[in-house]
Amino acid sequence: MAVSLNLCFSLVLLLVYRASAAPISPGNADSLCSFAQLVAPGQDSLVYKYKTEVKLSVVNGQFDLKNEISANVHIKNLGNCNYALQLQNVVIMETQDEDESTVSTPAKQELENLVVRFRWADGFVVAVEADASANIDHVNFVKGIISALQVYSPVPTDGENILREEDVLGVCTTRYKYSQKDGVTKITKNKDLSTCS
């Protein structure tokens, strides 16, 4: 009898896990959606400019390599905390030492064609999904953009916080710097990916 109870308990846990890992569905109402909203009420989408820079240097190495990617980020409100993100006008710049050049690769078009759906509830990214056929590197790049939408903001004035934050990249040490100038609050988020688990 004990074996069958353990098996039954394991099956129930598995079903609960499968239900919590279910795909994003616009029909699932969520009470948290009534609080913070990523897209302003009455608006269909949010558009902003995104830019990231990665620099690789090797001690006593021959070259320094820098990649810079910029794009317009379009986030469409699907309702009930569900959103879809798509990049437009992707520009990839590569600099080797001081020689800068625009890179035109299939990656640009693939990034622009990729649509990633995610769930953002009460300031936290709680689910991300993309088509199974999508390039995993491109999906991970977009996950980094989505990660920037999750902002820990306990301090309304100038200050700095360091914490272990969980998001779509895992649990990582993240540093937040807050500053205010002319009524505008600037939040700088620095995530150390080498600390992610």
pTM attached to this predicted model:
0.68
Instruction: State the pLDDT at residue 147.
Output: 84
Average pLDDT, the chain: 76
- How many beta carbons lie within 10 A of that of residue 195, not counting itself? 12
* Among 85, 63, 76, CA closest to 148: 85
Cβ within 8 Å of residue 8, ≥6 positions away: none
Q: What residue spans define the domains of the chain?
A: 29-150, 151-197
Higher pLDDT, 163 or 60: 163
- Give the tokens for residue 114: 């990729």
| DSSP helix/strand/coil, 105 | coil
Q: How far is CA 73 from the centre of its chain?
A: 12
Q: How far apart are CA 38 and CA 31, in angstroms?
A: 15
Kindly report, residue by residue over 92-135, the tens digit of the pLDDT. 888 876 677 776 678 889 999 999 999 988 777 888 999 999 99
Kindly report, residue by residue over 39-53, the tens digit of the pLDDT. 877 788 989 889 888
**What's at 196, amino acid-wise?**
C
* Among 123, 152, 129, CA closest to 142: 129
Q: What is the CATH superfamily name and number for domain 29-150?
A: Lipovitellin; beta-sheet shell regions, chain A (2.30.230.10)
Instruction: State the pLDDT at residue 82.
Output: 92
Higher pLDDT, 69 or 99: 69
Q: How far apart are CA 117 and CA 126, in angstroms?
A: 11
